[in-house]
Structure 1
Amino acid sequence: MAITPVVVPGQKREEFGKGAARRLRRDGRIPGVLYEAGIDNIHFSVDRIEMTSIVRNEGVNAIVELELDGEKLLAMVKHIDQNVITLEIDHIDLLGIKRGEKVVVEVPVVTVGEAHPDAVVLVESDLIEIEIDALNIPDEIEVNIDGKEIGDLITAADVTLPEGAELVSAPDHLLVNFTYEQVDEDLEAAAEEAEEGGAEAGAESTEEAE
C-alpha cells in the first residue's frame, strides 16, 4: 500500500549556529537540513509539535512533503537529534527523494504465531535492512514462528519481503533463535550449597539444645 506523504509547512533559515537554533526551539520550532543529490543543502525549520507527531506516528522512516515558499519537496526522515533529558527533537535531517525512487531503510521485524511449547524464543535482532520504493516502506515485517522447535533459526534470508523489496542485510543475519530454557549452573550450585548449609546449621542447633 503506497504511503500518502504528510505535508509539513516549513520556513527557510538564514541564520545558523547554536544561538539561532536555541531561538528557534524557544519559539517552538525545530531546525533541520534537507539533503539531496545534485542540489545545495536547504536549511529550514518546522513546527515542533507537528513534526514530533509525524515521527511518533509514522516512525523514523516517515515520508513527508516539505513545503517551502510554495514548493513541495518530497523527503524522508533520515536522522533526528533528541534532547537527552526531555527527549524532545532538537534537530532533524531530511533526505530528498523522487517518486519511484528506491531507498535503503531499516524496518522493524515482529514475530507472530506460537513456537513449540518447549522452545524459548530469543529475538536476536528486531531490524532488517531492505531496499524498497520510498512510498512503499512498511511499518514492520512479520515473521511467522508457528511450530518452530528447539534448534530452529530464522535468518534474514527466510523473511518474506514486501513486493518490490530487495534484501540488503546479510542473508545469514540472525533474527530469531529457538533454544531451550537455560539454568545458570553456578546459581543452581550456590542454591544447593545454601540449602545444605542451612540444614547443617539446623542440625547443630538441635544438638546444642539437647
Structure 2
Amino acid sequence: MNFTFAATKREAQGTGASRRLRRAGSVPGIIYGSGKPAINVTLDHNQIFHLLRNEKFHSSVVTADVEGSKEAVILRSTQWHPFRQQVLHLDFQRVDANQKLHTKVPLHFVNADIAPGVKLSGGIVSHVATEIDVSCLPADLPEFIEVDLKDLALGHSVHVSQLKLPKGVEVVHHGEGDPVVATILQVRGGGEAEAAAPAA
C-alpha cells in the first residue's frame, strides 16, 4: 500500500505560529535527512489523523507531496495532545533507495488459539514485545513481521532469533542475550486449584 500526504512549506516558526496553525486545522512538521536541508512543513490535520490510524502508515515508506515535489520518507515521531485526539507535531525522515534504513516494525501474532499451551493447558499468551527494530533497504521494508505461536507450549517462549524474517531484513538487537517476544503463562490460580484437587 502506497500512502501519500500533502504538505506545504512554512516560514513562520515558534510556539505562537504553531498554535495558530493548529487552531486553523493544520499540523506543523519537519522533513529531514539524506544530506539535504531540513524543511518545515504544514499538513492537514484531518488527512494525517486518518493516516495515523492505519498501522501500516507507521512502518511504511510513504510519499510526501510538498507543493508538487515528491519525496520518499518514513515517520520518525508523532507528538499528541495529552488528552485530546489532536496531532501536535510530526517528524519525517527522507529515505534513500540505496541506503539501509533503521526503523521499528510491528509484530503480528497468529495461531494463539491453537497453541498447545493455550488450547491444552489453559494458559494465556503474554506479548512481551509488540514491535521490533530492523535494518533493511526501503524496498524490503515489511509492513509487519508474523510470529506463529501454533507450536508453543505452556511455559515456553518465542525469542527474537526464532522469528522468520523476510529476505533482506535484519534485526537490530541492542544489548546481550536473545530477547523474548511472546510467552505462554499459567493462568493465576490454575496451579493451586489442580494441586488441591487430589487432597480433596
TM-score by length of 2: 0.82
CA RMSD of aligned residues (A): 2.3
SS in 1 for 2:142: coil
Deviation, 1:21, is 0.6
Alpha-carbon contact 1:109-1:143 (below 8 Å) kept: yes
- Kindly provide the amino acid, as one letter, of the partner of residue 95 in structure 1: Q
Deviation, 1:66, is 1.8
- Kindly provide the amino acid, as one letter, of the partner of residue 14 in structure 1: E
- Structure 2 partner of 1:86: 84
- Kindly provide the amino acid, as one letter, of the partner of residue 39 in structure 2: I
- Structure 2 partner of 1:52: 49
- Kindly provide the amino acid, as one letter, of the partner of residue 21 in structure 1: S
Alpha-carbon contact 1:103-1:134 (below 8 Å) kept: yes
Tell me which of 17, 26, 31 is aligned to 2:28.
31
- Structure 2 partner of 1:177: 183
Deviation, 1:125, is 1.5
- Structure 1 partner of 2:115: 115
Deviation, 1:176, is 1.3
Alpha-carbon contact 1:55-1:62 (below 8 Å) kept: no
The runs of 5 or more residues in structure 1 that have no matched partner are 189-210
Deviates more, 1:170-179 or 1:39-48: 170-179
What per-residue deviation string (whole Å, max 9, x for no partner) do you get for residues 159-183 of structure 1?
A: 0011110111356111112232332
Question: Using the alignment, how far apart are the partners of 2:51 and 2:60 within structure 1?
Answer: 7
- Structure 1 partner of 2:153: 149
What per-residue deviation string (whole Å, max 9, x for no partner) do you get for residues 7-55 of structure 1?
A: 3221111100111111111221111011114222111111111112222
User: CA 1:45–1:83 in structure 2 vs 1: closer, same or farther (change >3 Å)?
Assistant: same
TM-score by length of 1: 0.78
- Structure 2 partner of 1:203: none
What per-residue deviation string (whole Å, max 9, x for no partner) do you get for residues 80-116 of structure 1?
A: 1011111311110000112243211222212212211
SS in 2 for 1:59: helix
Instruction: Trace 1:52-71 onto structure 2 (pairs within 5 A).
Output: 52-57=49-54, 58-71=56-69
- Structure 1 partner of 2:40: 43
Alpha-carbon contact 2:62-2:74 (below 8 Å) kept: yes
Alpha-carbon contact 1:78-1:94 (below 8 Å) kept: yes
The runs of 5 or more residues in structure 2 that have no matched partner are 194-200
- Kindly provide the amino acid, as one letter, of the partner of residue 16 in structure 2: G
Alignment size in residue pairs? 184
Q: Specify the structure having the higher radius of gyration (Cα).
A: 1
Question: Using the alignment, how far apart are the partners of 1:129 and 1:83 within structure 2?
Answer: 26
Deviation, 1:184, is 9.3
Moved segments of 4+, more than 3 Å: none
Alpha-carbon contact 1:60-1:79 (below 8 Å) kept: no
- Structure 2 partner of 1:73: 71
- Structure 2 partner of 1:98: 96
